[in-house]
Amino acid sequence: MNQKRDLNIDFASNANNYRRLHGGGKGQPIARAIGLKTYGLPLSVLDCTAGLGQDAFVLACLGCEVTLLERVPLIAGELRDALQRAAIVTDLQDIIARMHFIETDAIQYLQRSLNNKAEINAPDVIYLDPMFPERAKSALVKKEMRLLKDIVGSDADAAELLQIGMRIAKRRIVVKRPKNAAYLGDIEPHASQIGKANRFDIYMPTIAETFLIKP
């Protein structure tokens, strides 16, 4: 099986065009979860689990400035290529210009920013969508996501991302989970937004540390 080809990231696909034009705007659960209505634009999002970049694309379509982190080289390569291809599609240029990709492990990236406060600007929102073990069994899961799971396995260290993220995000941390899944790391969120197949758990940052980071 050619895993690279089968990942098939295409921000100009019909499905993505439809989502971009008719996806529900600020009222859709992911937009509510990141607080778009509450905070308005500009809003910066650090997507620590970029994967196929689909959620990041939705957030960029909504006007957010999104930094995408991905640590698996094969996926990172595909995502980088897909962003380069999309950057020259006229209708997508402005959106792709809001998507900034970095191939790195997000835990190390966040840890570095805690150690060296000046290294990154603290994002308004940290967004997490780690692999979930039961996801592959769902009929709702698309072929690309199943393949992603074959490549990545399960992100066993994801709770660590949440814990560090709560010390860095300025406004909130959002964790995407399957609708009936347990909370990440058994950490109870402040609130949840329920979507069709997913739940977005919302965590508030630890205020004391937030002030240590440059805005």
Ligand X SMILES: C[S@@+](CC[C@H](N)C(=O)[O-])C[C@H]1O[C@@H](n2cnc3c(N)ncnc32)[C@H](O)[C@@H]1O
Distance, in Å, from the CA atom of 183 to the CA atom of 176, rounded to the nearest integer, reads: 10
Integer Cα distance of 18 and 179 in angstroms? 24
Name residues whose C-beta falls within 8 Å of residue 180's C-beta, 6 or more positions apart in sequence.
199
Give yes or no for a contact between 200 and 192, defined as CB atoms under 8 angstroms apart: yes
**Site for ligand X, residues 146 to 175, rule: CB under 6 A:** 148, 152, 155, 161
44, 45, 55, 192: which one contacts ligand X (CB under 6 A)? 55
Residues 86-105 that bind ligand X (CB under 6 A): 105
- Report 110-149 residues binding ligand X (CB under 6 A): 129-131, 148
Residue nearest to ligand X (CB): 51
Give CA–CA dist 145/148, Å, rounded.
5
35 in the Ramachandran plot: left (φ > 0), alpha (ψ -120 to 50) or beta?
left
Output 155 or 201, the one with its CB closest to ligand X: 155
Q: Of the two residues 47 and 124, which places its CB atom closer to ligand X in the complex?
A: 47
Among 64, 82, 107, 173, binds ligand X (CB under 6 A): 107
Between 152 and 187, whose beta carbon lies closer to ligand X?
152
Q: Which is nearer to ligand X, 48 or 62 (CB)?
A: 48
Q: Copy the structure tokens of residue 5.
A: 């080809």
Of 4, 39, 63, 72, the one binding ligand X (CB under 6 A) is 72
Dihedrals φ, ψ of 5, to 5°?
-65, -40
Q: How far is the CB of 128 from ligand X (least distance, A)?
A: 8
Q: Within 10 A of 8 (CB to CB), how many other CB atoms are there?
A: 13
75 binds ligand X (CB under 6 A): yes
Contact residues: ligand X, CB under 6 A = 48-49, 51-55, 69-72, 75, 105-107, 129-131, 148, 152, 155, 161
